A and B are shown apart, each in its own frame.
Chain A
Amino acid sequence: QLQLQESGPGLVKPSETLSLTCTVSGGSISSSSYYWGWIRQPPGKGLEWIGSIYYSGSTYYNPSLKSRVTISVDTSKNQFSLKLSSVTAADTAVYYCATPTYWGQGTLVTVSS
């Protein structure tokens, strides 16, 4: 079965860009028909959809974050990535990479100087 693992800095300074990578094992990103997505969860709060990318390269972003988000895929490494620019403390959250069925364990990203 698929396994997803997030990686990236756990601390990002305000106004900088948050960058995370999701490494996929047990299957190929380029052979699937479902989405590869990013979801986040601020401490003590609910889940928020950030966006997703399909094997075709098409991307779909939460309108509230669209101006700051970029999701890309590297099929050679079987990875997909998230970039969120101009971060503030409100972007502090556990970030998950996911397919409809499988999720990574999540990684906490704190925005603080």
Chain B
Amino acid sequence: SSELTQDPAVSVALGQTVRITCQGDSLRSYYASWYQQKPGQAPVLVIYGKNNRPSGIPDRFSGSSSGNTASLTITGAQAEDEADYYCNSRDSSGNLLYVFGTGTKVTVL
């Protein structure tokens, strides 16, 4: 199956912008979804498709993609954005298999 690689950790000052990246061959063919997970909680979908936010997700979250890399950008990071973030996409096999990225811990300073 495909692999999706993320940086293990990033930090951002309160109110600044941070971009989290996800790399993998399958991203040349499929969009990534992004999930936010806070300690002890289930993941929450924050971005899906080209750049879509589910209801209730703040517009400071945005997504983009280029080549084999998908990105999640948090513009004006808030303290409550401190969490683990995982990308998720279809497997490049062509079957309806999915794979998660390795995860990025975002710390808001």
| A interface residues (Cβ-Cβ under 8 A, vs B) | 35, 37, 39, 46-49, 52, 54, 58, 60-64, 96, 100-101, 103-106
Known A46-B102, A101-B54: A62·B97 in contact at CB below 8 Å:
yes
Contact B43 A103, beta carbon cutoff 8 Å = yes
* Chain A residues near B98 (CB-CB < 8 A): 35, 37, 49, 52
- Establish whether residues B103 and A54, one from each chain, have CB atoms under 8 Å apart when the complex forms: no
**B86 touching A47, Cβ below 8 Å:** yes
> Are A46 and B100 in contact, CB atoms less than 8 angstroms apart?
yes
- Selected contact of B103 from candidates A46, A100, A104, CB within 8 Å: A46
Least CB distance from A40 to B in Å reads 10
- The residues of B that contact A47 with a CB separation of less than 8 Å are 35, 37, 43, 86, 88, 100, 103
Residues of A within 8 A of B33 (CB): 100
Determine which of A58, A104, A105 lies in contact with B96 in the assembled complex, contact meaning CB atoms within 8 Å. Answer: A58
**What is the interface of chain B, defined by CB distance below 8 A to chain A?**
1, 33, 35, 37, 42-45, 48, 54, 86, 88, 95-103
A100 touches B1 (CB 8 A): no
Task: Using A37-B98, A47-B100, A60-B96 as known contacts, say yes or no to A105 and B42 having CB atoms under 8 A apart.
Answer: yes
- What is the chain A residue whose CB lies nearest that of B42? A103
Q: Are A104 and B42 in contact (CB under 8 A)?
A: yes
- A61 to B1 alpha-carbon distance, docked (Å): 11
Assess whether A62 is in contact with B45, with CB atoms less than 8 Å apart.
Answer: no
Closest to B101 in A: A46
